[in-house]
């Protein structure tokens, strides 16, 4: 059954009245209260009829909307809930709603097969899992990565709105390397998530290159409605991150042909979960596999390679090979000659 906005306002107002047990509610009282709320919310001056409120009460009592409200009449005059803890806002989703939501999930899963909807796969899984959890049809079958201690998540919505509305920002930022924070004017263009951390891609007013700001390093910011927003032409943000792992990149950076050898024990992991979408197999034998990825040389790439330890070796380019070798030697030196138990 379709419910319009005015009907929902009436149901909610009646619900608020019946939950208020500090006074007794006659039918006339309910009519007056609903009329007052409709005028306050929607500017309706004609009020509401007795027949409409009677129909609303009957509908709330029924299973048509899944409310099954325990509305009783005492002394043939006063309306109230028989259960003092009841509210229509606590009512479970009815079977019709569940069936409709299942249909929607099914449709979304069909669309998910197209490339345009690849990014919706997590959303669909969340929706399906929440649906079955809320209806208690099964246990929770899926868990998503989440870090509630991560700072800066509350900034996502206002930053998104600033990007959407093309507003300049006065932003105070403190990088990990800086001793003090700095305030600058930025033009925000994109929010990007990587491994459960969020980043803002923006350009400072005094500068020509895009920079990446971690949301957990933003101290505070405010919109500058009187500052003219400067769009960043020449960059296709839909493809800006295609040639790298992570988010660290400048417009001047170009992809390198990175060639890696992975030993036979870790080769299956690399083959079933490629490091990057550009990954191709150059050679595969009993010692392992040699792959190539075309990516920018950045911090996230080095961290990914170092994560494989002795199981992965950089064959090219030499500049990356040198960086990884130097960092591994430093790591070994950190242990020194300690003879740990």
Whole-number pLDDT of residue 93: 58
| Domain count along the chain | 4
Name the residue among 256, 253, 156 with its Cα closest to residue 210. Answer: 253
Residue 15 lies in a domain: yes
Mean pLDDT of 229-236: 86
d(CA 103, CA 97): 10
CA distance 85 to 101: 27
pLDDT in tens, 273-288: 999 999 999 999 999 9
247: in domain: no
> Average per-residue pLDDT in the chain?
85
Distance CA 258, CA 265 (A): 21
Residue 50 lies in a domain: yes
* Tokens encoding 74: 């005492």
Query: Is residue 44 a part of any domain in this protein?
Result: yes
Residue from 202, 211, 208, 214 nearest 168 by CA? 202
The residue segments making up the domain with residue 70 are: 5-90
Last residue of a domain, one of 208, 224, 240: 224
In a domain, 181, yes or no: yes
Contact assessment for residue 270 and residue 289, using Cβ atoms and an 8 Å cutoff: yes
Helices (H), 198-289: 267-272
Lowest mean pLDDT among 79-93, 216-230, 292-306, 321-335: 79-93
Confidence of residue 134 (pLDDT cuts 50, 70, 90): low
* CA 227, chain centre distance (Å): 29
What is the per-residue pLDDT for 155? 85
pLDDT value, residue 2: 44
Is 328 in contact with 268 (CB distance < 8 Å)? no
């Amino acid at each position: 059954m379709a419910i319009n906005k005015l009907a929902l306002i009436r149901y909610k107002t009646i619900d608020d009245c019946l939950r208020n047990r500090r006074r007794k509610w006659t039918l006339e009282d309910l009519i007056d209260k609903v009329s007052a709320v409709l005028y306050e919310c929607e500017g309706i001056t004609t009020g509401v009829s007795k027949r409409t409120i009677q129909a609303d009460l009957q509908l709330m009592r029924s299973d048509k909307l899944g409310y099954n409200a325990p509305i009783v009449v005492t002394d043939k005059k006063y309306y109230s809930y028989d259960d003092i803890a009841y509210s229509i806002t606590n009512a479970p989703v009815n079977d019709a709603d569940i069936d409709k939501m299942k249909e929607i999930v099914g449709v979304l899963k069909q669309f998910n097969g197209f490339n345009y909807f690849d990014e919706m796969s997590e959303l669909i899984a969340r929706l399906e899992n929440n649906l079955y959890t809320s209806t208690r049809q099964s246990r929770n079958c899926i868990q998503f990565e989440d870090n509630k201690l991560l700072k800066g998540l509350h900034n996502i919505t206002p930053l998104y709105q600033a990007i959407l509305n093309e507003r300049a920002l006065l932003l105070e930022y403190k990088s990990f390397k800086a001793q003090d924070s700095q305030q600058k004017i930025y033009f925000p263009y994109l929010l990007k998530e990587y491994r459960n951390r969020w980043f803002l891609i923006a350009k400072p007013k005094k500068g020509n290159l895009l920079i990446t700001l971690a949301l957990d390093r933003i101290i505070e910011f405010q919109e500058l409605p009187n500052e003219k927003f400067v769009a960043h032409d020449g960059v296709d943000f839909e493809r800006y991150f295609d040639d790298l792992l992570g988010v660290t990149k400048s417009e001047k950076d170009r992809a390198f042909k990175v060639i890696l050898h992975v030993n036979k024990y870790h080769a299956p992991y690399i083959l079933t979960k490629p490091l990057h979408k550009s990954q191709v197999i150059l050679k595969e034998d009993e010692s392992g596999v040699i792959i190539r990825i075309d990516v920018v040389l950045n911090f996230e790439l080095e961290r990914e390679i170092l994560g494989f330890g002795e199981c992965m070796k950089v064959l090219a380019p030499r500049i990356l090979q040198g960086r990884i070798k130097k960092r591994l030697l430093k790591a070994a030196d950190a242990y020194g000659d300690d003879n740990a138990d």
